[in-house]
């Protein structure tokens, strides 16, 4: 997952673009906090987007001296002024605590000269065939190579961006060797260590990961990276060190497994909707008690979205097909995830005819971010417009980013209450806590009665009962006539 801002700014969209050598104003006077503790490292982070800026801030907040690198002069200037270059909860606090230890520049080569380990976290966009494109990583690697020519000491290079299995030990290692004139695995270390995080909780996830995944070309590089990662968390975290190819497979396998789990819960939810008395929340609550299954991500709600889950699942299937292996499960997961919009549209149609006003609450793919990539809310709004509904939308953060996809096809409401007052059907597609504040007086007055499809169970059903019928995905009683169940059972 890589932030869109980095995609626009870092490497400038051209794989072979020369990297400027201008260092934008550094903070001049180090504070008392800038003194590096024993064992601290000098670290460079290439890419100051949604993941790179938090990564740099986490490391510097833990006592390391960090140089962030980005081609965006505004991002560099922001970091040097002590201002978070992106909107991410907790990031500004980390930058405040990092005063004197965190600086930024546009010069990759000089950053490499001045540090001992470099982490690359730049975009790897998905190509038309479903594979990740390494152009930005390779451009950064070439610039790193120029820096390595200007120093004699050992240096460790870490690819944090998600890449296709075979990339790090293949084209990336080859490019690093050519650009630096060094032997990879002897004179320069190379690791692959992706993050397992979600936008909106990046800082929390980086400080409290389940594990550190380290793919290494040699034990020295792996040990160096493990030491850095172990110092950047709030508690002891297990490390899994392995070769490069296994780490690359693990990264997309984790996300593919999670998407399968999400889709299974949604499949179960649709089944429950056809059986009177069935409740997917009750069923998944029991399933999650089984330690072989676990409760995380096992919730019948909306399909998955965002910049990581959909593309990693597709990449896994693409990789398998290219190798002659079968990936039927990944392919079925992708198809079932696309089906969730049709399923939700059909639920709306059960409660309102085309021409009615339907409000979509939630346009970001998850709470606490403005990112709308593969957003269920945006896709639902588009589907409802195509079906002939008048669509209103609201999101606490993502109105501007959603407008790029929805344009003038929908009405943009200033508040959730504005949606509730105008819509016959309200659909909660993102679990923003702000939506829980809706009151009965926000809805149409009697005798009118609204319907709220609460995908994330955030509305207060008791408080809204006088004016609104709450429909919850995965509950049979909310969707069908009990007589239908008896006929099926018979």
Per-residue HEC secondary structure of 137-149 comes to HHHHHHHHHHHHC
165 band by pLDDT with thresholds 50, 70 and 90: very high
The predicted structure's pLDDT at residue 39: 82
**Average pLDDT of span 318-343:** 97
The predicted structure's pLDDT at residue 481: 52
The predicted structure's pLDDT at residue 480: 59
9 band by pLDDT with thresholds 50, 70 and 90: very low
15 band by pLDDT with thresholds 50, 70 and 90: very low
**Average pLDDT of span 411-439:** 97
Give the burial string for 181-217 (b: 16+ CB within 10 Å, else e): ebebbeebbbbbbbbbbbbbbbbebbbebeebbbbbb
The predicted structure's pLDDT at residue 12: 35
The predicted structure's pLDDT at residue 447: 82
Is 26's pLDDT higher than 60? no
Share of the chain above pLDDT 90, in %: 88
pLDDT digits (tens, 9 = 90+) for 59-117: 999 999 999 999 999 999 999 999 999 999 999 999 999 988 999 999 999 999 999 99
Nearest Cα neighbor of 376 from 429, 312, 323 is 429
468 classed as catalytic: no
**Average pLDDT of span 459-477:** 94
Is 402's pLDDT higher than 90? yes
Angle between helices 244-272 and 280-287 (to 10 degrees): 140
Average pLDDT of the chain to the nearest whole number: 91
**Average pLDDT of span 319-339:** 97
The predicted structure's pLDDT at residue 445: 87
Measured between alpha carbons, how far is 470 from 373 in angstroms, rounded to an integer? 28
Cβ-Cβ contacts under 8 Å for 368 (sequence gap 6 or more)? 89, 199, 200, 201, 397
The predicted structure's pLDDT at residue 414: 97
Is 213's pLDDT higher than 50? yes
> What predicted TM-score, i.e. pTM, was given to this entire model?
0.88
Neighbour-count burial of 4, counting CB atoms closer than 10 A to its CB (0-12 exposed, 13-18 middle, 19+ buried): middle
**Average pLDDT of span 333-358:** 97
Measured between alpha carbons, how far is 468 from 357 in angstroms, rounded to an integer? 15
- Of residues 308, 419, 455, 468, which has the active-site annotation? 308
Q: Which tokens is 301 given?
A: 């709600």
The domains found in the chain, sorted by start residue, are 4-24+38-242 (3.40.50.720), 261-337 (3.40.50.720), 351-473 (3.40.50.720)
- Whether 453 and 347 have beta carbons less than 8 Å apart is answered as yes
Please report how many Cα atoms fall inside a 13 Å half-sphere around the Cα of residue 108, on the Cβ side: 31
29 band by pLDDT with thresholds 50, 70 and 90: very low
Measured between alpha carbons, how far is 335 from 213 in angstroms, rounded to an integer? 29
- Whether 323 and 358 have beta carbons less than 8 Å apart is answered as no
Share of the chain above pLDDT 70, in %: 90
pLDDT digits (tens, 9 = 90+) for 178-211: 999 999 999 999 999 999 999 999 999 999 999 9
The predicted structure's pLDDT at residue 36: 56
Q: Which tokens is 3 given?
A: 């932030």
């Amino acid at each position: 997952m890589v932030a869109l801002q980095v995609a626009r700014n870092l490497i400038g969209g051209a794989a072979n673009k020369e990297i400027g050598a201008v260092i934008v104003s550094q903070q001049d006077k180090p504070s008392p906090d800038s003194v590096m503790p024993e064992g601290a490292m000098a670290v460079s982070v290439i890419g100051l987007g949604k993941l790179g800026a938090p990564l740099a801030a986490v490391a510097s907040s833990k006592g390391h001296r960090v140089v962030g690198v980005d081609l965006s002069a505004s991002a560099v200037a922001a970091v040097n002024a002590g201002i978070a270059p992106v909107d991410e909860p907790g990031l500004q606090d980390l930058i405040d605590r990092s005063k004197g230890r965190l600086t930024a520049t546009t010069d990759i080569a000089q950053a490499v000269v001045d540090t001992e380990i470099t982490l690359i976290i730049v975009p790897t966009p998905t190509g038309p065939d479903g594979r990740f494109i390494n152009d930005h990583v390779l451009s950064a690697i070439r610039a790193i190579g120029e820096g390595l020519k200007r120093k004699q000491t050992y240096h460790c290079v870490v690819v944090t961006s998600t890449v296709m299995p075979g990339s790090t030990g293949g084209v990336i290692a080859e490019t690093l060797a050519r650009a630096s004139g060094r032997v990879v695995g002897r004179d320069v270390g190379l690791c692959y260590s992706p993050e397992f995080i979600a936008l909106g909780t990046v800082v929390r996830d980086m400080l409290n990961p389940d594990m550190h995944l380290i793919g290494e070309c040699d034990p020295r590089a792996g040990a160096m990276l493990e030491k850095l990662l172990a110092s950047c968390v709030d508690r002891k975290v297990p490390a899994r060190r392995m070769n490069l190819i296994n780490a690359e497979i693990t990264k997309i396998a984790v996300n593919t497994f999670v998407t399968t789990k999400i889709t299974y819960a949604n499949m179960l939810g649709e089944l429950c909707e056809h059986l009177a008395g069935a409740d997917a929340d009750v069923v998944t609550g029991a399933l999650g008690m089984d330690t072989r299954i676990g409760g995380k991500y096992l919730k019948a709600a909306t399909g998955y979205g965002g910049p990581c889950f959909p593309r990693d699942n597709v990449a896994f299937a693409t990789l398998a097909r290219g190798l002659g292996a079968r990936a039927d499960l990944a392919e079925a997961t992708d198809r079932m995830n696309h089906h969730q919009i049709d399923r939700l549209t059909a639920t709306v149609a059960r409660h309102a005819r085309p021409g009615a006003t339907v409000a979509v609450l939630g346009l970001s793919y998850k709470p606490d971010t403005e990112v709308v990539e593969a957003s269920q809310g945006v896709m639902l709004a588009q589907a409802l417009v195509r079906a002939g509904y008048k669509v209103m939308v609201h999101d606490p953060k993502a109105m501007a980013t959603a407008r790029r996809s929805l344009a003038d096809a929908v009405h943009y409401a200033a508040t959730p209450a504005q949606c509730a007052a105008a819509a016959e059907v309200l659909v909660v597609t993102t679990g923003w806590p702000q939506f829980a504040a809706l009151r009965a007086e926000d809805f149409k007055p009697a005798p009118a009665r609204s319907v709220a499809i609460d995908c994330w169970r955030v509305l207060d059903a008791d408080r809204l009962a006088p004016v609104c019928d709450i429909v919850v995905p995965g509950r049979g009683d909310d969707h069908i006539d009990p007589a239908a169940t008896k006929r099926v059972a018979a």
